[in-house]
Every structure is written in structure tokens, then in C-alpha cells.
Amino acid sequence: MTMRVLLVDDDPAIREALGQTLELAGIDPVLAGSFLAAKDHLTPGFDGVVVTDMRMPGRDGFHLLDFARAIDPDLPVILLTGEGDIPMAVKAMGKGAYDFLEKPCGPAPFLAVVTRALKARALVLENRRLIAAVEKGDAAARMLHGTSDKAVDLRAQVRRIASMGADALIAGGRGSGTSKVAEVIHLLSANATRPFVKQNAGLLTVAGLRAALNTGAGGTLYLDEVSRLTADVQYALIDAVETGAGLRLLAGTTVSLDAEVAAGRFQEDLFYHFDILRVRIPNLRERSADIPVLFQHYVAQACEQANLPLPDISADVIAGLMAQDWPGNARALMNAAMRFAMGLDDAGEDQGHGLVAQMAQVERSLLIAALQRHDGRAGDTAADLQLPRKTFYDKLARHSLRAEDYRG
């Protein structure tokens, strides 16, 4: 890696002299005469160090020190101090400056401090690279649990699609973990250090889509339940895809997009764009051998989050879990694990007799009745129940319900 020094001084003579010293030592200087000229060069991965004069018109070296540490706390900043500025330099060291040099500064002491700072910076960047490589290589195994053939095949599909870098469709039953698979694909991709933006397609507007595309620039935008995109957002997304979206698009669905296209609810062009690469998440009943492993993982996770002791999981509990069909897939199993971790029975909240459980049953019944009245039309149902759309979808997810199941 070529290491650089961002050299900031409002005095052109000093700036040029120190820049020449760096060049003669084989170090690449980036010269700037002010805070404003310097700040655009600084990023969290800046491959070098900063050397700045303390006293400059406008924003001085202290401002640049604060700005650099906000960008990256490990970025070394060396201060150049004039006569009488030593107390200020000591104060700056307390604020996180790497070192300071008193002007005029000869080439030897200047290069000694800069070289030491460059070595420290190189070590930090190399450690980050190694950590990122470990996390990237282990994302599928760390986040997609299971030892069955189906689970192994799913991880292989995810790794293969991640390496291709193209837009993709993630299909699975409700509660199967489409968003988690999308996150793993992102973490395994070349753009893993860029943003991962998740959007609920049912709540997305054209303006919201444009904002999400800008927020995720260079990274990944995941559209959860892509079939819920309104017609105008679908057209806007097609335009973005055709003109170059500037990021990777992943679409998740728990319904058949082929059927949505046939019914005229989903644009065919958009479907074929996403369907070039497709990963299908198997339902939990297809990989029942993974249920014990997943349940133990979810129980341990719930206990850690709630600071609870880890309970014993008997063979009878596992047998009961294995006997269920799990239409809600991993999400339903996770809910069962949370109840188990909290000491509730594995059939539900306190045998279903407590006030909270009874209220939940009433809420679920009201949701189902409203969905039936409105033929599964989410917008009409939410309006009937006087619920904001996000709250409505959250309640559907909590009760493992889908509006699509009540259409027709």
C-alpha cells in the first residue's frame, strides 16, 4: 500500500519545502493550504497520516484534528507548532493528536515522526483488513445456521450469488429469513464495507426509493416483500435499473412473483431483472433436522439478550418441536425459543390464559376478520383498523399473517 501524508499549512513556502522533503524520502505528499482544502481528502480508510499547522486563518489545526478524529479515531494527526504554542500542542495531545513538531523543523526529526506515524497507520489498516476478511469469510456460517443438506446447499447458493455481484431475488416462505440472507450476501460481496440499506417495499414511495438509492450508493439496497411495491415505485425502479442504479439491488419475496406478474400486479420487466439470479430458502419443515440446532441457538441468543440463565432443553421439548409443521418457519421457531427462555411453556404465552395472551388472540382475530372483509387488500385493511401502514405490517408479522393469503 502506498502511504500518503496530507500536509496542511497556509504558508506556501513551508508547504512546498516539507512536501519536497517527503518526496525525497519516497513518501507521497498531498498538499493543502486550509482546512477546507484538506477535509475532502479525509475518509475512514485514508491510507496515510495528517500533518497540519496549528495556526491558520479560518478553521485552524484544532478544527482539523477534531474533524479527522470524527472521521477515524485511529488516524494519526501531527501538529506543527510555532514559538509559544507548546502549551497548545500539549492540550492537543490530550485531545488525541499523535505528536507535535516545533517550527522550524529540520528534515531528520520531521521524517522520523512522520515515518513512525505511517507505520502505526499501516498496522491499523492491516488489522482492519484482516478482521474484515475473517468476518466476510465467515458470514454465511455465522448467520445461516444448520447442518442439514438443505442448509449446506443454501450457504453454497448464497456464497455463489454474493461472488457474482449482480442483482438477485431471494424467495422463501414467511418467516424464513429473506432479509438475513440478503445481509449475508452483502457481507460476502466486494461492496461489504459500503452501506446495507433495508426497505419495506410496502411502505416505499418514489421519493423514498430515490433517497434509498442515494443512501446505499456503492452498497446494497434490499427491498423486503418486493411484491408490495406500488405501480409508480415499480416504474421508478425500472428506470433506475435501466440507467444504472449505482448499487446492488436484492429483492425478497414470500409470494410467487410469477403469479403476481400473471395477475398484473408486478411488472414483468422488473421480475425478469431480479430473476436472473435467484436463491430459494427452504421451509423449516423441509430441513427439520436443523430444528434442534436452531432452537438451541435461538434460546441461547434470547437468554444472552435478556440476561437470563440458560435453561435445559429436554428431549421431550425437542420431540414436540419436531412434531410441528412450522408454517411460520424460523421466525416462529425463534418466538417459541424466546418464550421458552423466559420460562413460558412451549405451546405459547402462559398456556394462553394470561391477559397478554388473550389480548394477543383477540388482536389476531380482528386482523384476520378485517383482512377477510377487504379481500387481503393491505391498504384498505389498515385504514379500516385505523392503523398506520408500518404498524399494520408489524402486527401482521407478529401474528405470522400475510395479507396475500386472504386475497380471493
pLDDT, tens digit, 9 for 90 and up, residues 253-283: 999 999 999 999 999 999 999 988 999 999 9
Closest CA to 77 of 57, 54, 58, 56: 54
The pLDDT, as a whole number, for residue 351 is 38
Q: Is 206 a residue whose pLDDT tops 80?
A: yes
DSSP states of 324-362: S--TTHHHHHHHHHHHHHTT--TTSGGGGTSHHHHHHHH
Mean pLDDT, rounded, for 359-364: 73
At residue 183 the predicted structure's pLDDT band, cuts being 50, 70 and 90, is very high
Pull the grid cell for residue 108: 531528520
Give the whole-angstrom CA distance, residue 71 versus residue 3.
18
On the question of a cis peptide bond just before residue 311, with omega within 30 degrees of 0, the verdict is no
Mean pLDDT, rounded, for 119-141: 76
Mean pLDDT, rounded, for 386-400: 84
Among 35-49, 170-184, 382-396, top mean pLDDT goes to 170-184
At residue 290 the predicted structure's pLDDT band, cuts being 50, 70 and 90, is very high
Q: Where in the chain is the domain with CATH 3.40.50.2300?
A: 4-127
Q: Is 26 a residue whose pLDDT tops 50?
A: yes
Q: Is it true that domain 4-127 has CATH number 3.40.1390.10?
A: no
Q: Is 358 a residue whose pLDDT tops 70?
A: no
The pLDDT, as a whole number, for residue 22 is 93
Q: Is 349 a residue whose pLDDT tops 60?
A: no
The pLDDT, as a whole number, for residue 199 is 95
Residues 6+ apart with CB under 8 A from 302: 308, 337, 338, 340, 341, 342
The CATH architecture to which 144-282 belongs is: 3-Layer(aba) Sandwich (3.40)
Neighbours of 272 (CB within 10 A): 11
CB 346 within 8 A of CB 339: yes
Phi-psi region of 146 (alpha: psi -120 to 50; beta: other; left: phi over 0): left
The pLDDT, as a whole number, for residue 353 is 42
Distance from chain centroid for Cα 406: 33
Phi, psi of 387 (to 5 degrees): -120, 140
Q: Which residue has the higher pLDDT, 108 or 216?
A: 108
The pLDDT, as a whole number, for residue 362 is 74
Q: Is 36 a residue whose pLDDT tops 60?
A: yes
Cα angle, residue 154 at apex, residues 148 and 159 outer, rounded to 5°: 130
Q: Is 352 a residue whose pLDDT tops 50?
A: no
Q: Where in the chain is the domain with CATH 3.40.50.300?
A: 144-282
